[in-house]
Amino acid sequence: MIKQTKPHILIVDDDRQIRAMLARFLAEHSMRVTQAGDGEQMFKTLETGRFDVIVLDVMMPGDDGFTLCRRLRSTNTIPLILLTARNSETDRIVGLELGADDYVTKPFNPRELLARIRAILRRATANPAAAERLASVTYQFAGWTLDTSRRSLVSPQGILTDLTTGEFELLVAFVEHPQRVLNRDQLLDLARGRVSLAFDRSIDVQVSRLRRKIETDPNAPALIKTVRNGGYFFTATVTAAAPVVSP
């Protein structure tokens, strides 16, 4: 059986011409593309296919992209890029708060979208040695257990805590570099990878989301401290071990 190597991209946009244009362009760059015209089609498609990245338009009739992003993130962590004509920083932050991994504004150069898709794909496949290491490490901190092979986080009470892709990558960056000040550029590189036009507020949004999941009081965080003019400091003592594999 030949392994399928082409990344599979799901484009969700009510504009048929934009979908067709992007489908042709991405296919020319060795990607498989499936199209959906609205949220209903998107969720039906997700039931029957496996996708590497979703490109989701915000301005659509019916449920808009923000609403669909919120619904998707309640059950799924597939990397997601929002595509919209809105160009305000507030809208970008809202999209990231809801769990989007990146944001591209219209009008846009298809090559920019391609670059952002490739950046997301690289984060999933880059550095095989690191990927192998992540696949075999369990981290423990402050009663929490982060299993990188299962991409799972279990609370001190034994409750499984859902993480988006961005939250998982950010937490891994923190547990791999505990008790060190990490500035936003370092966290962008460690947790998300460098993408064109990335903005520092994206890290602040992801930190805020992560705090709500692991801090006893997110308004007075004890695990992820803010360092003024410096970045963030993960206070916990972290232990790491390879998980036991049954013969």
Helix, strand or coil, per DSSP, at residue 158? coil
* CA dihedral of residues 211, 216, 219, 225 (deg, nearest 10): -60
- The beta strand positions in 121-208, using DSSP E, are 138-141, 144-147, 152-154, 160-161, 181-182
Is 121 in the same domain as 132? no
> Cβ neighbours of residue 71 under 8 Å, at least 6 residues apart?
39, 43, 63
In a domain, residue 229? The reply is yes
Res 199 pLDDT > 80: no
Residue 241 has a pLDDT of 76
Asked whether residue 246 carries a pLDDT value surpassing 50, the answer given is no
- What length is written for the chain? 247
pLDDT of residue 133: 45
Asked whether residue 39 is domain-assigned, the answer is yes
The total number of structural domains that make up the chain: 2
How far is residue 238 from each of residues 50, 174, 245, measured CA to CA in Å? 34, 10, 21
Half-sphere exposure of residue 209, counting CA atoms within 13 Å on the CB side? 27
Residue 230 in any domain: the answer is yes
What is the pLDDT averaged over residues 189-211? 65
Establish if 1 belongs to a structural domain: no
246: left (phi over 0), alpha (psi -120 to 50) or beta: beta
Indicate whether 206 belongs to any domain.
Answer: yes
pLDDT 10s digits, 78-123: 889 988 876 666 777 777 778 888 888 888 889 999 999 998 888 7
Assess whether 205 and 96 both reside in one domain: no
Whether residues 142 and 168 fall in one domain: yes
pLDDT band at 124 (very low <50, low <70, confident <90, very high): low
Which of helix, strand or coil describes residue 40?
helix
Q: Please indicate, yes or no, whether residues 141 and 119 belong to a single structural domain of this protein.
A: no
Same domain, 173 and 184: yes
Which of the residue ranges 12-21, 86-95, 209-218 would you say has the lowest mean pLDDT?
A: 86-95
| Band of pLDDT at residue 219, cut at 50, 70 and 90 | very high
Does one domain contain both 115 and 183? no
- CATH number for the domain that contains residue 144: 1.10.10.10
Query: Same domain, yes or no, for 167 and 133?
Result: yes
- The pTM assigned to this predicted structure is 0.56
Domain range for residue 136? 128-241
Tell me: do 12 and 112 sit in the same domain.
yes
Torsion angle, CA of 184/186/191/195, rounded to 10 degrees? 80
8 A C-beta contact, residue 120 and residue 102: yes
If you ran DSSP here, which 8-state letter would residue 94 be given?
H
Which of residues 57, 90, 125 is at a domain's end? 125
Measured over the CA atoms of residue 206, residue 208, residue 211 and residue 213, the dihedral's sign is: negative
Closest CA to 212 of 162, 157, 149: 162
Domain stop point among 89, 106, 125: 125
Q: Which structure tokens are listed for 151?
A: 């991409």
Helix, strand, or coil here: 46? helix
Mean pLDDT, all residues of the chain: 82
pLDDT at residue 201 greater than cutoff 90:
no
Q: 19-40 pLDDT, tens per residue?
A: 999 999 999 999 989 999 999 9
Are residues 137 and 62 located together in one domain of the fold?
no
Q: Are 240 and 139 in contact (CB under 8 A)?
A: yes
Evaluate whether 238 touches 193 at the Cβ level (below 8 Å): no
Q: Give the end of a domain, one of 104, 125, 146.
A: 125
- 65 and 10 in contact (C-beta within 8 Å)? no
> What pLDDT is stored for residue 130 in this prediction?
45
Q: HSE, CB side, 13 Å, CA atoms: give it for residue 40.
A: 2
